[in-house]
Amino acid sequence: MDNDSPAPKSLLEAVPNFSEGRSRPTLGLLAEAAGRPLLDAHADPSHHRSVLTLAGSAAQLRSSGLSLLETAIRCIDLRRHRGEHPRIGALDVLPIVPLGETTMERAVRLAISLAEEIGVRHSIPVFLYGEADARRRTLPQIRQGGLPGLAGRLTRGEIRPDYGPGALHPSAGGIAVGARQPLIAFNVNLDTSRVGIARAIAGRMRTSGGGLPALRAIGVRQDDPAGRRVHAQVSMNLLDWRRTSLADAFRRVLVEAGAAGTGVVHSEIVGLVPRAATWPGMEMEIALREPARTIEGVYQSVVKPA
């Protein structure tokens, strides 16, 4: 585990998700566009998705966010995109997260400012969600039915963007911009290729299905990077690790997998985790494929004062 110190009082985090997880040139351009605030980059070819973690001041994240969007528009075409993860845009979602003693109000101000500028500068509909949205709209509500579903709802007037045009960009789709507390993206690979089992487990585990609190989950196909076999994967978002910890989620998958006649191969954390969500021996307890890294630790080691 990282030997880290608390985050600076003014620190904000951005966790942009892109509909690209296979093209190394494009991933390289996105990392370049992120610039100085980039702490971590995670790409998944099966999900055909990448997640960047950035941290810095509001001005730094604003500049990086706009640069990343411009790169995504230039390099990612959703008309040719096929992947396991649901999405509505090339830069699919851009959450702003307060860290340390930073207030949620500051994260909300930055999210709304970015959303407004994106809507003005680019022909992309922008949908606010989470704390940045007065209605507290959620990502699943915006992404219902995926890209075709969103296009249809826009046409029928069932949903309207908060900024930008009333129709999707032909190649870049739309974008959800929001503010939220830190969450943990956590995937568990099962010892089976039967995706139906993962989907059934996810359905019983997620909060909306009567499962664990503050948990979203889906079941997807996960190809082995070495091409040896296919795993069914339970892909989760822990919205509040204080209510459902990594250990809680992992143990529940173990129980559900056992009841379905299978087991767990390993797990992975996508991106970085808050230090407060970790504990000694975590890697072994939840069968992590790679050691976990904390936001605070990576920030202290990577980001140097200007």
Q: Return the half-sphere exposure (C-beta side, CA atoms, 13 A cut-off) of residue 260.
A: 24
Task: Give the pLDDT confidence of 128-157 residue by residue, as tens digits.
Answer: 999 999 999 999 999 999 999 999 999 999
Give the per-residue pLDDT at 1.
46
**How far apart are alpha carbons 248 and 82 in whole angstroms?**
32
Parallel, antiparallel or unpaired: strands 91-98 and 175-179: parallel
- Residue 209, classed as helix, strand or coil, is helix
Contact 299, 7 (CB under 8 A): yes
List, in order, residues 6 or more apart from 156 with CB less than 8 Å away: none
**How far apart are alpha carbons 201 and 259 in whole angstroms?**
10
Q: How many CB atoms lie within 10 A of CB 229?
A: 12
Q: Where are the domains of the chain?
A: 12-179, 184-300
Tell me which CATH homologous superfamily contains domain 12-179: Formiminotransferase, N-terminal subdomain (3.30.990.10)
Contact 264, 287 (CB under 8 A): yes
The one catalytic residue in 42, 48, 85, 231 is: 85
Catalytic residue at 169? no
Q: pLDDT tens for the chain, 306 residues: list them.
A: 444 444 556 789 999 999 999 999 999 999 999 999 999 999 988 888 999 999 999 999 999 999 999 999 999 999 987 776 788 999 999 999 999 889 999 999 999 999 999 999 998 999 999 999 999 999 999 999 999 999 999 999 999 999 999 999 999 999 999 999 999 999 999 999 999 999 999 999 999 999 999 999 999 998 866 566 889 999 999 999 999 999 999 999 999 999 999 999 999 999 999 999 999 999 999 999 999 999 988 988 875 454
**How far apart are alpha carbons 97 and 102 in whole angstroms?**
9
The CATH number of the structural domain formed by 184-300 is 3.30.70.670
